[in-house]
Structure 1
Amino acid sequence: MLDMNGLDGFSLLQLVAIAGVVVLLFSVCEVCGYSFFSAASEEFIVVMLLVVLEFGRRFSKSDTRNPSPGKSAKSLETKSEAKAESIFQQLQKAARNGEPRKAEQLCRQLRAAGQLSAASFGAVISAYARSRNASGAERWLRALIAEDIGTPNVISINIVISAFAKQGNAARAEHWLKQMQPLRLEPDVMSYNAVIDACARAGDVERAEHWLRELRDACGPNIVSFSSILHACARAGDACRAEQWLQRMQAEDGLKPNVICYNSVIHACCQAGQLQKAEDWLNRLVAQGVQLTVTSYGAIINSLAKSGDTQAAEAWIERMEANGVRPDIASYNMILGAHCRAGQLHKAHQLLDGLRCRGLSPNCSSLNLLLGGYARAGDALGAEQALKELQRQGVAPEPLTWQLMTKCLASADKELLEQIQVEGEGLTCFHALLSHYAAVKDVRGAEQCMARLEAMGTPSAESYVAMLEACVGAGDVVRGEYWHQKMLERRVEAGSVVSQLFQAVGKLGDCGRLAVLLRRHREAGCEVTGSMYNALISAYAKKGDVRQAEQCFEEMLRSGCSGDVASFSAMVHACARSNQLARAESWIEKMERAGIQANVVTYNSVINACARCANADRADTWFRKMVFAGVKPALFTFNSLINAYVKAGAHGRAEDVLETMQEHGIKPDAVTYSTLIHAAVGAGDPSRGELLLKSMKEKHVSPSTFCYNSVIQGWCEQGSPDRALFWLREASAQKSSPPLSGGPLVAALLRAERFEEAAHWAARLQVPRFGPGSAAAVAQALEGKGSR
């Protein structure tokens, strides 16, 4: 049988040749006497052979052009895998570069291709961590846990713990360490070290020690574990504790300290003011042959410089060099700062000039220290010259630089400012001026400066940021929106300043306007931050518009931003404003599930919701939860709690709150007492209200008009105008604003048939036009008396 797959590419000439060979074979057979077929049959066989060969040729070509379904699927699958591999490589690169937005987009592409994996999530988590966005890393870790593609590994969780550690957020770092057990993961030494580091950065030595003990009981500490503990001791200035841990790591754990550990001990001694002990440690380490670093000497140099002993600090730099350690620019900046603080700017410049001989160049910190000295001296012109000089040396200013220049210009007279604006060279002077106008909230001056920059064609991103800061600082949201639009057109990113603009617009309560601003910002391709969404959520919350606030919250999550304590608190506040207690409580539960700890604002909002719903028991429950969570109650907390008790008719419990306030070190204010006084009078007990008013005055809390009016009105309703008159005169003696309870007092005097007094007070106080305590009632009473 012919193999059709082998008939690929037969030409016409080849087919004719094959046919010729077949005919020749038939002829040979005939000559030899072996004729098996008739002539007609032979011709038929040759034709059929040609047809079969041609069919095979065409079939093979067709097969090449149009592969079979099996081959096609396999080929497509290979291409799909290759594309997914390419996307994943790009994702890993985005993670290494700390580009979370790009990483998210690539992850979505992998999802669409059906190639999403736990490693994809890990890359996005890493991207957020590298960009110092711990909340974003946490959000993606939660998303990974929720996905049905496998559980996160120890590395992913360690990345999140470490991200929170770098922020000094020990609570979130601890949370994820504790979450590893439910996820059936075994924490490693890096997990514990990151938590210890978080506690150290927060300056909480005891908390760091607790986790070191946990680590000892688990997989055992390493040198990094102890260096973090020693770092915590150094920050706290606890030299004795640092020395104890240095001994314990050697005696109990058999670990040899490295120079980082020794540096922390020296730093702890300096922080404690024990310079001699720090020097003893340095001498001991030199004798032991330990290779010291700049940091080893830096703590002593910094302590001496801060005390103003620049001569001794410079001597230590010489000693450092003699011991083979080359000082860096940070070492000299310590002494530079001392000269600037002492107002010895000539010495500061001498030090900077000497850096070149040592092969060092000033940095931005050097510039900022110098400008700080000029700001203290009130020398704006000297600051401008110093800024130009260091810029010529390659020093690039940072935001703090312009803030310091603002302080320098604040002391400059108008003529100098105009001179700088006219004669100034480049962006340096203009940015200093813009920062100055922003600080003094002078929008007009800033816009004049920007007009010159735009005419020169030289405004930069910093120029527009400073301009917007001026608008926001002055509360001019109209001009702020104008400059925000210009920034969008020029693709200028300035998240923090734009967020401030959004908050300023939010305070106006114009939600529609704010929503348009947010939409424009997003459509321009600029990054929309959580604080921008928070401004809109808060604006809806103030109006009590829960539905719109919740929609905005959901949109924020869809955009890739995570909810924080501000956004959740705003949602609770929105529910409180609309008297939806159960909904407010549900938002706190969502907040807790998201791993975000409620703050005083959150608890105040839910207690206020309880007060609005007259639910004293729930208010009490939330207050207790607040205290148990370690959140310190504020004055507003107690005022809301009192209001809840009063609305529920629990007046005794409301007054008991005064003692609780004292226990928490919170002093009651006029609102506290006015609520209690009004409640007592409303319950028909003006004498109780009177006692509270007296107590208020004894505690040096100035009574408001409302407090006096409540007591006056209470006595009037009880038919005791004399007590009411006593408190009326008391209020006048205290120079309180005119009481508004003229009507009740006049009505009480009329009921007692004291018509002349009623007429006297009706003329002095604000009384209604009609009714029992009105001027008309007094006139009618006097007329009736005359007729009698």
Structure 2
Amino acid sequence: MASRSKLSGIQRQVLALYRGFLRTARVKSPEERHRIESVVSVEFRDNARNVDRKNFVYIEYLLRRGKKQLEQLKDPDITGLSTLEINKFGHTKRQYCSCLMVTLAHHRHLAAAVTLFSSVVRTTHALNCLLAVLCSSSAFIHIAPKVLLLAVPFASPDTTTFYILSSALCRALQPSAAADLLRCMPSLLLDPDPVHIRAVLSSLCQCGPARDAAMFLDEMRQWDVTPTRSDHHAVFGTLLREGMVVEAYEVVKNKMDSDGVAPTLSDFGAILQAFSESREFESVEVVFDEMLLRGLVPDVGVYNMYIGALCRKGDMAGARRMMDCMERAGCLPDVRTFGVVVSSYVSAGDMEEAREVAQEAIRRGLQWDSLVLAELIGMLQASGVGMQAQGLLLELLSVHDAPMLGQLMRALCKQGVCAEVVGTGLMDRIIINQNQSA
């Protein structure tokens, strides 16, 4: 309790000193005041960083010294001074007061700094300096709006003001509030800076609601800022993460085109996968057709997603036909393509067809390496048919050395199914099979 009263006493003393300093400064010679203020301002600049939060001795010394020297001067005499010299002196005074205000705010003399701002400085530059200090700490950011309201009668906010406040809100993980702040700028005849707009959009995509990010993307055009490919992809990814697949497809199909950004094959692939996982198979067909109409040629990855959707739908005949179609189109199925179909046949209880498809992959010279096997085992475990497929998996496993077995174990761990596979006894059978082969 004693240290708290001492701290508040120092604060009151500093406040009284700087008020007396300002009263004295109003009635002294401009030339001498300019000289003294220049010296004190330099000392503030050079030594402010050496004053920590709990030590106000140096601030007290500067204020007391400035007040004492000014009190020794005579009444002001501006005879013979030109208007330019008088204006120059006024500018120097504002610079010094701004330096004093920022130093007080930096050392948590907030009441003194705000009083100095509202009574003497009263400029947009000083407002921005004070807001920058307040917004640098999350503990004092709540004071910033009060200071902004206090400045309304005599200091209009500018683009820098909005940059300081909205950046602080983004750092505080409140990007929606930062976006609302930027929406106020046109009413003040201020244009948001494109770089700053994209910074707020990026923050919205990282930690804000996806719907707010999509809305902000549309508003960018109202400010004559055309969204780039990276802007669209950021919003697109955010919508997919929150399961808003229809809205994400709207970005790919319409909004990107309106901004002169051509959707890529990977964009359509991500939409296909999302619709497939949500079991919206009609939408999968629509997206695949739209991709073909745009002249995009599917690669093996996109074909695998489409075939996977057909398998989830239960259309195994359609999946086999699509494998034939992709081969006729010059895109050979890879081992993952066969793995998806094998897993679906096993899930449907058709072990004969599953074994036939697996053997077809082997006849084509495709290698069931550890990564692909782990993916296949993961799909089978997720479908609840891991036990039924053990015989088929043993046929596919060509485990002849320990490194291959280790790679398979690591791949299963990445899939998150290693413990389940060990529990089924499959790994024991693999090891026994390896020893017999040796």
TM-score (norm 1): 0.27
Larger radius of gyration: 1
TM-score (norm 2): 0.45
Tell me which of the two structures has the higher relative contact order, counting C-alpha pairs closer than 8 angstroms and 6 or more residues apart: 2
